Amino acid sequence: MNINSLECPYCHEYGFSYHAYYIRHIYIFGKKYTIRITRVICRHCHKTHAILIEDIIPYSQIRFEDILYMLKNKTADFIDMSHLSYILKKYTPLSSITYKNICIRNRRKYICMFLST
Ligand SMILES: [Zn+2]
């Protein structure tokens, strides 16, 4: 992936530099995986962005696919009950369950970019 071909969502200029990496843990059907997330910084406005691989929801430890499963079935045996009710409470009010809506719902400080690797 060429980060120089990405458009900055803030200033709409092109050109990023690598900024930092951070480690996240995600659970895929109960199994814990460690992934490295790359942060890039815009050379023009100096905002930072996380580059995410598809299927990972920012700031969530659960995959999109698993969230869909939980919302649909109201159960999941790969997650404990308290976590399940948290997820249901969080995402059930969404008018439509799409990857984008879940990301927006889960967003904190940083905008996210959706990039396949
Ligand atoms: Zn920018």
CB–CB of 36/85 below 8 Å? no
Number of domains the chain is built from = 1
The Å distance, Cα 106 to ligand 1 centre, comes to 22
The Å distance, Cα 48 to ligand 1 centre, comes to 8
Q: With 60 as the cut, is the pLDDT of residue 5 above it? A: yes
Q: What is the pLDDT of residues 43-93, one digit of tens each?
A: 999 998 887 765 666 666 777 888 888 888 888 777 777 778 888 888 888
| Domain span holding position 66 | 3-115
The Å distance, Cα 42 to ligand 1 centre, comes to 5
How far apart are alpha carbons 114 and 67 in whole angstroms?
Answer: 18
How far apart are alpha carbons 45 and 31 in whole angstroms?
Answer: 39
Q: With 90 as the cut, is the pLDDT of residue 114 above it? A: no
The Å distance, Cα 53 to ligand 1 centre, comes to 20
| Share of residues in the chain with pLDDT > 70 (%) | 81
Question: pTM score, two decimals?
Answer: 0.47
